[in-house]
Amino acid sequence: MKIDLELAKKYSRPGPRYTSYPTAPHFSEDIDPAHYEAELSDPGTPVTDEISLYFHLPFCKTLCYFCACNVIITSRREQIEEYLVTLKKEIDLVSSRLSSDRKVGQLHWGGGTPTYLTADEIRDLMEHIHSRFTFADDAEISVEIDPDEMSLDRAVALAESGFNRASCGVQDFNLEVQEAVNRLQSYELTEEVLGMLRSNGITHINLDLIYGLPFQTVDSFAQSLEQVLQLDPSRLAVYNYAHVPWLKKHQTLIDEATLPGPELKLQMHAQIIEYLTTTGGMTFIGMDHYAKPDDELSLALNERGLHRNFQGYSTRAGLDMYSMGVTSISQTYNYFVQNAKLISEYRKMVDAGRLPIERGIRLTEDDHLRSRLIQDIMCHLEIDLVNISAEFGINFREKFAGSLAELEPFAEDGLLVDQGDKIVINENGRMFIRNIAMVFDAYLPGKQQQGSDTRQRYSKTV
C-alpha cells in the first residue's frame, strides 16, 4: 500500500465505521417493544437456521480515557449482582419467543469488562444461557477480557463454560501512553493471563491495539507491535483512535496537544500494515483487522463469508443477532433494535415483563440493497454490478447513476477501477473504504458533505 498524505488529507472527513447500515444515529423511538415482540415470534423469511447472541456486561472498575463503549464504573458488587438478575430475566423473555430449532452459532460477551464478574458469576450466567438456548457443535463462543480483572479461577470458569475465544485489549505497552489514558497494563501481566487461558484450552486469542493515542510515535508503536506479535495472537484489531469528546465527555481528560497529528498517524498506519503483513505474516482482513492465514476470519475472507457487524469484522455472515443487556443492539433481517440506555429504565421494563427496547429502525428494501453494497465494499473490496442487479431486480447503473458519478474522483485518484461488470477497490483504496461506502449511504446529510450533523456523530475516516 502506498500512503499518499495529500490524498489522506483530501478524504479525511467524518463518516461511519459501518458496523451497521443504517447506522445507529438513525434509529427512531417509533420502534418499540411490540415491533420486536412480533419479530421474535414470527421473523418471516428469510430466517437463519443459526443465530448469534450478544450479551452486554457494562461494568468496569476504572475508566479508560480513550473508551467509546457504553460502560458503568463501579466497585459495588451488589450492583453487578442486581444486573445479572435482570439480564437473566431478559434472556428468558427473548428465548421463550424464539424457535427452539434455531441453534446458536456464535456468542459474545462484551463490555465493559465481562471478566469483572467472579468465577461463580461467569458459570452461573453461562449455565442459564445454556439452559435457554441450544448451541451448534462448532459454535464460536468468545469473551472480552481485561488482564487486570483476570485470575486463574476465572480462566477455569470461562473454559468450563465453553468459551473458546478471548479478546484482550492491549492498546499500547508504552508506559507514558498508558498513564495518559489511565490504562496501566504491563506486557508481563498480559503474557501471564494469556498463558492462563491457553493452559485451559482457550487458544484462540484476539488482541486489540489503538493508534493515535497521546505521546505515541512511530518508533514507540513499533515496539508495541513487536511485543504483541511475541504474544502470538490469532487475530489483531488495530483501531484508529476516535477522539469524540462531544460524544464521550470523559475524553476531555486527554490533552489534545499530546495526540499525534494526521501525518504521524498516517505513518503509523503504513507501518502497521507493512509490519503485520510481512514480519507478522498476518492477513490484512480489512480496515483495522488482521488474522493468521489459517484463522477462521482469513478463511471467511477467501470464501466470501466475511461480515461486518457491531463487533467489527466477523465470520458466519448473515446470522440474526439477538443482543441482551443495557444499550445492546439486535439485528434481524427486518429490524435493528436497541435496548434502553439507562440501567434504571432497562430494569424497569424487564421487571414488568417487557422487552427493553427503546428505539430502532425497520429495514426497507432499499436499506437491504445499500447494506449489501456497503458490506461488499467493507469486506470484499468490490461491487459485482451484474450479481447485484440480478439479485435485487434493478439496473445498477440507472439506479446509482449519481453514486457512480461520486465515485469518479476515487477512480481519478487511483483508488478504484470501474471494470464495467465490477467496481474493484485496489490496495491504495483500502485506506479509504469508509469514504467509498459513504457514496451509497442514503442517510448522510449531503452524502459526502461535511454537514454539522455528520461532524457531531462520527469520527474522521482517515
Q: How many CB atoms lie within 10 A of CB 422?
A: 14
Q: pTM here?
A: 0.92
Q: Provide the H-helix boundaries in 303-400.
A: 343-351, 365-380, 385-392, 396-399
Mean pLDDT of the chain: 91
Residue 373 has pLDDT above 50, yes or no: yes
Mean of the pLDDT values across residues 43-61?
A: 88
- For residue 122, count CB atoms less than 10 angstroms from its CB and return exposed for 0-12, middle for 13-18, buried for 19 or more: buried
- Chain segment 162-200, per-residue pLDDT in tens: 999 999 999 999 999 999 999 999 999 999 999 999 999
Torsion angle, alpha carbons of 144, 81, 84, 114, to 10: 0
The three cell numbers locating residue 68:
467509546
103, HSE (Cβ side, Cα atoms, 13 Å): 9
Grid-cell match 469488562, residue found: 113
Three-state DSSP state, 32: coil
Q: Where are the domains of the chain?
A: 18-329, 365-457
Give me the pLDDT at residue 450, please: 42
Minimal CA–CA distance to 153: which of 119, 126, 123? 119
User: pLDDT confidence of 451, banded at 50, 70, 90?
Assistant: very low
244: pLDDT confidence band, cut at 50, 70 and 90?
confident
Superfamily of domain 18-329: Aldolase class I (3.20.20.70)
Q: How confident is the model at residue 246 (pLDDT cuts 50, 70, 90)?
A: confident
Q: Is the pLDDT of residue 297 over 80?
A: yes
CATH 1.10.357.10 fits 365-457, yes or no: no
- The DSSP letter of residue 236 is E
